[in-house]
Amino acid sequence: ENRGVNYGDVNESNIWKFEHGVRNQVSAAWSLRNPTLVAQMGENMLKQMYGKNIPWDLKLRLARAGVKGLFFHPKKRGVEDIK
């Protein structure tokens, strides 16, 4: 079943995927200079986790991943980089 990204599904075995996703989404929104979008993403993440019994350590890991996204700047690639 493919439900897309739902932070209510976070657990120990898949946290790494969500961490990378949060980091990348925050990085993309921040690169567009859109702090409102970053705040909306955070609000959405919290709403999806609300009442789902997700351990605090996993929630903290996601929050840290979001902060990392503010400083994560992947190399921009263009057509000339394709081999």
pLDDT in tens, 3-32: 778 999 999 999 999 999 999 999 999 998
Tokens of 83: 């081999």
Distances (CA, A) of 25 to 34, 35, 53, 55: 12, 12, 24, 22
pLDDT in tens, 27-50: 999 998 899 999 999 999 999 999
The answer to whether 42 touches 66, Cβ cutoff 8 Å, is yes
